Structure 1
Amino acid sequence: MRSDLVVAASKVIPEPPVLINLVSARVKQLNNGRSPLVRVDYRMGAADIALTEIIEGKIGIADKAKEA
């Protein structure tokens, strides 16, 4: 996992526990065969892909307060 991606993703999702849960859930999906939502370099691991998806706004956390 690249630290520069973690720093960039933490600017999008500033709460560390939420970021960890989102990355973990997406890594599980990717490892179970889901397709990446971003262009993948052969050197990228599942966590790097998940972090890049967060940085590019492809995945995120739904705000329940806005939905209500």
Structure 2
Amino acid sequence: MKDASYPAPGGAGLRGVHHSGTGPGLWALCGYALVALVGWSRVALRDHTPGQVIAGTILGSAVAAAVFALLR
């Protein structure tokens, strides 16, 4: 079994950090759409299962939030 999807956490983490600094808006929505598109592509290419992509997204968001909180 493969590990959690790595592109998803990176994108979700960056999106979460950026969103927390700018608030919701058009760019935030574009960022979330990009994270979803990358996750979908990983499943469509059969590189990861949906569960791995979801786990990677949650993991990336949690790590980014923790790092952002420590650096703030």
Q: TM-score range by the shorter chain?
A: 0.3 to 0.5
Q: With structure 1 as the length reference, what TM-score do the two structures score?
A: 0.36
* Higher helix proportion (structure 1 or 2): 2
Q: With structure 2 as the length reference, what TM-score do the two structures score?
A: 0.34
